[in-house]
Amino acid sequence: MTASPGGRRVVLDAGEAEGSSMTTYDADLRAILGEDFTASFRGELTGPTDDEYDARRAVYNGMIDRRPGLIARCRDVADVMAAVDAARRHDVLVAIRGGGHNGGGLGTCDDGLVIDLSEMRGVRVDPAGRTVRVEGGCTLGNVDQATHAFGLAVPFGIMSTTGVGGLTLGGGLGHLTRRLGYTIDNLLAVDVVLADGRFVTADAEHEPELFWAVRGGGGNFGVVTSFLFRAHPVKDIVGGPTLWPLDRAAEVMRWWDDLIRTAPRELSGFFAFIGVPPGPPFPEELHLETMCGVVWCYTGPPEEAEEIFAPIAAFGPPAFHAVGAMPLPALQTAFDALVPPGLQWYWKADFVDELSDEAIARHVEHARLPTWRSTMHMYPIDGAAHDMEPDATALPYRRARYCQVMTGVDPDAAKAHELVAWTRSYWEAVHPYSAGGAYVNMMMHDEGPERVRASYGGNYERLVAAKRRYDPGNRFRVNQNIEP
Ligand SMILES: Cc1cc2nc3c(=O)[nH]c(=O)nc-3n(C[C@H](O)[C@H](O)[C@H](O)COP(=O)(O)OP(=O)(O)OC[C@H]3O[C@@H](n4cnc5c(N)ncnc54)[C@H](O)[C@@H]3O)c2cc1C
């Protein structure tokens, strides 16, 4: 047997693999991690020869096809500690899987050990203290469902299937960012299993440097087994999409930018180029048309909603306007079915300080989508996200007004090349008008160390120092990596 567990392929000869007729195959890491680990691990271990292997190694993005040596579905913190410790002792590459939604597939790896948190989905709301304790493998939907029952919400992203783990550690932006800040601005504490196997709690007073680093620094510093968030009284909202014909895109974008600039923080609306989904509630004559639009979310006093939306419903006028009162989780789940797991997915993102007329012209030139599920979103991130200084958390974007992301999406793997080409050429055209760097949560796995460095701007060196302190051997390197 050749075993190179530091991230290289592990190969068994046929004679050594009992019952196997294959000459070589990706070996199960169980043999390397040893019985000390496998016997005490309480969750499930799945290796390449197990029936569940293909289902468990699959991640959200169908473009990603990695073959881990072992998937350790942890049941509790003790399992996470055991897995990290075994990986450390045997020098095995580790990937941490939260919701498995990362576009670049950074919740998995080839050959190494996947510490899979997807069974750790406990949520405990403290309605009196307005906090919520969330286990590391939760999706946004798990938390929304629990908090909504108490009329509370944590500001997360726009789709319920995304993992809290990756989204939070990279920053977290969505419908409530203008009013309540990034997700990390509402993070009060984290429980972390560090690379040396220690379990620590980090908050403003304990391990403050670690607490600073995890608020934007991704999974670089350890496995976060639970998050403690501040929750806010947000229950029902007024929201939904407004769509205009594509030939009015420049005009709509300029109007929307001006509107957001002066809008109360309770109103958010992200601009989008979309292919109209071929089904209700969209009228048949619009199905599969490429259009421009805004998806709104208003969390202010309901009696003021009519006044807020009157000029919006009149601008243009729109081809479609479906804004109404609904529970926040209804908006958060509205797009889930349109982009189920397993689609081809390729995206690139930038933060934007100002939306100039030239930038708008470049956007409009690239708005012809390669497939109807492909899209460009521009999320407002002013308001409360600007209340903190750029060095208050590892995520430095506290002056940018938008985060823009262009995404090529389709079920057909044969279209992958076209999706990548469209995304790259669109991004190249608008990147010169951006704030530089990227949003680490909306990057692919291959954008390179320079782009990671640029994304952290003036906070990068401090992150390197934190990495040297908490993970000097770079055990956690399957991420947008901060090299120690
Ligand atoms: C359909 C879709 C919609 C999205 N919408 C939004 C949005 O509205 N707003 C937004 O901000 N982002 C959004 N994202 C981006 C999302 O934040 C990132 O893809 C994020 O990485 C997903 O986290 P995850 O836990 O699901 O991913 P995973 O693939 O499981 O993990 C991603 C990264 O985070 C690390 N990680 C995950 N959990 C932990 C943990 N508990 N401890 C330590 N490290 C961990 C992993 O190691 C990996 O490096 C969206 C993504 C998709 C695919």
pLDDT band per the 50, 70, 90 thresholds, residue 420: very high
Backbone angles phi and psi of 178, in degrees to 5: -60, -35
DSSP 276: P
Look at ligand 1, atom 32, and give the residue with the nearest C-alpha.
166
Higher pLDDT, 437 or 205: 205
pLDDT confidence of residue 24: 35
Amino acid code (one letter) for 155: P
Q: Is 97 in the pocket of ligand 1 (CB under 6 A)?
A: yes
pLDDT confidence of residue 26: 53
Q: What is the mean pLDDT of residues 408-436?
A: 97
Pairing type for strands 70-73 and 113-116 reads parallel
Residue 198, pLDDT above cutoff 60: yes
Query: Which runs of consecutive H residues, i.e. helices, occur in 188-333?
Result: 208-214, 249-262, 305-314, 328-333
Output the pTM of the full model. Answer: 0.94
3-state helix, strand, coil in the chain (%, to 5): 35, 25, 45
pLDDT confidence of residue 28: 85
Token reading at 61: 């993005």
High-pLDDT (> 90) share of the chain, %: 93
The number of beta carbons lying within 10 Å of the beta carbon of residue 460 is 18
**Closest to 366 (Cα-Cα) out of 295, 433, 442, 430:** 430
Cα(97) to centroid(ligand 1), Å: 9
User: If 0-12 CB within 10 Å is exposed, 13-18 middle and 19+ buried, where does residue 318 land?
Assistant: buried
Look at ligand 1, atom 52, and give the residue with the nearest C-alpha.
101
Residue carrying the six token digits 């809008």: 263
Report the nearest atom of ligand 1 relative to the CA of 478.
Answer: 49
As a whole number of angstroms, the distance between CA 9 and CA 25 comes to 10
The beta strand positions in 235-371, using DSSP E, are 236-245, 267-275, 290-298, 320-321, 324-327, 344-352
Q: Residues 408, 346: contact at Cβ < 8 Å? A: yes
pLDDT in tens, 234-286: 999 999 999 999 999 999 999 999 999 999 999 999 999 999 999 999 999 99
The number of beta carbons lying within 10 Å of the beta carbon of residue 92 is 23
Residue 350, pLDDT above cutoff 50: yes
The number of beta carbons lying within 10 Å of the beta carbon of residue 389 is 10
pLDDT confidence of residue 244: 98
Amino acid code (one letter) for 42: R
Residue 6, pLDDT above cutoff 90: no
Cα(52) to centroid(ligand 1), Å: 23
Q: Mapping DSSP to helix (H, G, I), strand (E, B) and coil, where does residue 45 land?
A: strand
pLDDT in tens, 391-404: 999 999 999 999 99
Cα(378) to centroid(ligand 1), Å: 18
As a whole number of angstroms, the distance between CA 405 and CA 347 comes to 7
pLDDT confidence of residue 187: 98
DSSP 172: -
Report the nearest atom of ligand 1 relative to the CA of 99.
Answer: 26
Alpha carbon 405 to chain centroid distance? 12
pLDDT band per the 50, 70, 90 thresholds, residue 21: very low
pLDDT band per the 50, 70, 90 thresholds, residue 195: very high
Size (the chain), residues: 484
pLDDT confidence of residue 23: 31
Q: Is 223 in the pocket of ligand 1 (CB under 6 A)?
A: yes
pLDDT in tens, 122-166: 999 999 999 999 999 999 999 999 999 999 999 999 999 999 999
Residue 12, pLDDT above cutoff 60: no
